[in-house]
Amino acid sequence: MPLTIRSALTPLFGNLMNGFFGHVVDVLGVVATILGVSVTIGFGVSQFINGLCSITGMEWIMDMSGNAPEPGKVGLIAGLIMIMGLSIISAVSGVGRGVKYLSNLNLVLSLILLSVFIIFGSFLFAMSTYVSALLDYIMHFLSLSFWAYGPQSAGNFASALPSAAVPMAGDLMAGATNPWGSFEGFKSGLNENALALGDATLAAVYDAGNEGRQFKWQSAWTTFYWAWWIAF
């Protein structure tokens, strides 16, 4: 049988895969593969440019206008052309040459990186964290699988605030619903007027943004990676 997605489904659906539905399966397989590879290349290029700037100090490939440096358009385009060029050269050279050499090199570099981490890094901390995180995941698997958060509106956020913080709801919401920040990180981004509210009020503000934090985390990680893995 041909090396297609429909061939894998033929034992389940029989001759149905020989016609229109088989074409649909194959087209969806191609589209999903393109989307999955595109996301991977996008992450790879961004990581590549960040690392290149850190090693060489070439700030022209970065966008330095924001709160934190991030890859600029020039850097992303240059990195994309470089990585895609190397990928094309590897692909057209054949499995026995370019792909083989790159795969072997990647394996050796991965083993070197792992060895450096074990010898010089926080290996025991990583392993203990891995075990505790795995147990936590198993214990909460069902609740994590069937619980979904919704987006938090500005009105709902403001209605959950203490009365003293309501006039500053617009300025407080972004930090309180930031899924990557802790309470201390939330406080560090506030101006003097907001800090004057006091820790107790700010803690209540941070708690009011819990729905927004959970939704953003879930959409950026759980749902995003779920769709990405399904694509592959």
CA distances from 122 to 127, 133, 158 (A): 9, 16, 42
Check residue 163 and give its pLDDT: 92
Give me the amino acid identity at 229: W
Whether the predicted pLDDT of 142 surpasses 80: yes
The mean per-residue pLDDT over the stretch 21-45 comes to 89
Show which of 92, 111, 142 is a domain's final residue.
92
Pick from 180, 183, 181, 184: which is nearest to 220 by CA?
A: 180
Is 117 inside any structural domain?
no
- Please check whether residues 159 and 88 belong to one and the same domain: no
Whether the predicted pLDDT of 189 surpasses 90: no
What pTM was estimated for this model as a whole?
0.61
Is 123 inside any structural domain?
no
Is 208 inside any structural domain?
yes
Contacts of 185 (CB under 8 A, 6+ apart): 175, 178
pLDDT above 70 as % of the chain: 100
pLDDT band at 122 (very low <50, low <70, confident <90, very high): confident
Is 49 inside any structural domain?
yes
- Please check whether residues 88 and 158 belong to one and the same domain: no
Q: Which domain holds residue 187?
A: 154-220
pLDDT, one tens digit per residue, over 52-92 is 999 999 989 998 887 778 899 999 999 999 988 988 888 88
Give the dihedral sign, CA 17/22/28/30.
positive
Give me the amino acid identity at 168: M
- Please check whether residues 85 and 159 belong to one and the same domain: no
The mean per-residue pLDDT over the stretch 145-173 comes to 91
Show which of 44, 66, 92 is a domain's final residue.
92
Is 159 inside any structural domain?
yes
Pick from 85, 54, 82: which is nearest to 68 by CA?
A: 54
Check residue 207 and give its pLDDT: 95
Is 101 inside any structural domain?
no
Whether the predicted pLDDT of 228 surpasses 90: no
Mean pLDDT of the chain: 90
Is 131 inside any structural domain?
no
Check residue 222 and give its pLDDT: 85
Query: Which one is predicted more confidently, 65 or 7?
Result: 7
Check residue 45 and give its pLDDT: 93
- Please check whether residues 81 and 160 belong to one and the same domain: no
Q: How many domains does the chain have?
A: 2
Show which of 71, 92, 113 is a domain's final residue.
92
Is 76 inside any structural domain?
yes
